[in-house]
Copies of this chain bind each other. A is one copy, B any other.
């Protein structure tokens, strides 16, 4: 297995990081690869890197940030003029750096907008672990309480609780099936997204749809905060929801019984109070126009 193949399968199997973080890790690795790969010609460098990038794009089809950011990277690399290999390596690295910085800034801006919308002194319930939602809590630390779900599998809510604990934020930690009970105690539900589909549907860790339903029934707003590169042109119907090995939650092995471990679910737009990106609060028609 080549380094590129190894990294691609690492991205495919990553259960630890959200879509934004993974997309930036991909860009960073493409930059390193541009610096180290052994090639004799400008065209070989470009071709091999673009092949690597395309493999990464298809590794996590449910994560539009990966598809989109790497898509921008490919387009920019294709536009680069010819020239010697060493200059091309530097130009490609600089494309990666620019895109990573833009993504980091987008996350910070989106988080700042969300923090303003949430306001101070509120209890925020969230599901899964989103680096954007962590950034919102960083903005509000000292003036916010949290309710965090375990988010099985692999229970990334445990890592979120550790982050919030580090920020000194008072946090209630619950198993996933208690979400309905605790939505009642929250003022706001706030999640990140793996992808926002063309119709405004939110593809995120399985259970997000349940939180949105509970928020609606309890009369609290349901906010989705993410950088705009999470937008996909595909409708939610066309999006493939990742499945992983059910062994992750150790189901019983029984005749006639089939276990499932679908990682994402789809929250329809009618349950979303607001989509928040680096451009602020987005309206559905604006959002779906792209």
- A210 pairs with B180, CB closer than 8 A: yes
CB-contact partner of A254 in B165, B175, B210, B252, under 8 A: B165
Which residues in B have their C-beta under 8 angstroms from that of A241?
Answer: 181
Decide yes or no whether A55 CB sits under 8 A from chain B.
no
Which residues in B have their C-beta under 8 angstroms from that of A72?
Answer: none
- A169 pairs with B256, CB closer than 8 A: yes
- B210 pairs with A173, CB closer than 8 A: no
User: Given that A174-B259, A259-B174 are known contacts, is A181 also in contact with B165, CB under 8 Å in the complex?
Assistant: no
- B151 pairs with A177, CB closer than 8 A: yes
Which residues in B have their C-beta under 8 angstroms from that of A151?
Answer: 177
How many residues on the A side are at the interface (Cβ–Cβ under 8 A)?
51
Cα distance A161–B252 in the bound complex, in angstroms? 8
- A178 pairs with B262, CB closer than 8 A: yes
Cα distance A206–B255 in the bound complex, in angstroms? 28
| A158-194, CB < 8 A from B | 158, 161-162, 164-165, 168-182
Cα distance A162–B256 in the bound complex, in angstroms? 10
CB-contact partner of A260 in B172, B254, B261, under 8 A: B172
0 or 1 for each of A196-221: is its CB under 8 Å from B? (1 = yes)? 00000000011101100110010000
Which residues in B have their C-beta under 8 angstroms from that of A255?
Answer: 165, 168
Which residues in B have their C-beta under 8 angstroms from that of A181?
Answer: 206, 209, 241, 262, 265
Decide yes or no whether A289 CB sits under 8 A from chain B.
no
- B158 pairs with A252, CB closer than 8 A: yes
CB-contact partner of A256 in B152, B164, B180, B206, under 8 A: B164
Decide yes or no whether A1 CB sits under 8 A from chain B.
no
Cα distance A158–B253 in the bound complex, in angstroms? 10
Decide yes or no whether A251 CB sits under 8 A from chain B.
yes
User: Given that A177-B210, A178-B265 are known contacts, is A254 also in contact with B162, CB under 8 Å in the complex?
Assistant: yes
Closest chain-B Cβ to A130's Cβ sits at a distance in Å of 15
- A210 pairs with B257, CB closer than 8 A: no
Closest chain-B Cβ to A180's Cβ sits at a distance in Å of 4
- Give me 5 other A-B pairs in contact (C-beta within 8 A), A170-B258, A175-B176, A181-B241 excluded: A152-B176, A158-B251, A162-B252, A171-B258, A180-B210
Q: Please, could you name 19 A-B residue pairs with CB atoms under 8 Å apart, sorted by A?
A: A149-B177, A158-B252, A165-B254, A171-B258, A172-B258, A173-B246, A176-B176, A177-B177, A177-B205, A177-B206, A178-B207, A178-B260, A178-B261, A178-B262, A179-B210, A180-B210, A181-B209, A217-B268, A217-B271
Closest 7 CB pairs of A and B: A177-B207, A213-B213, A180-B209, A165-B254, A176-B177, A173-B259, A171-B257
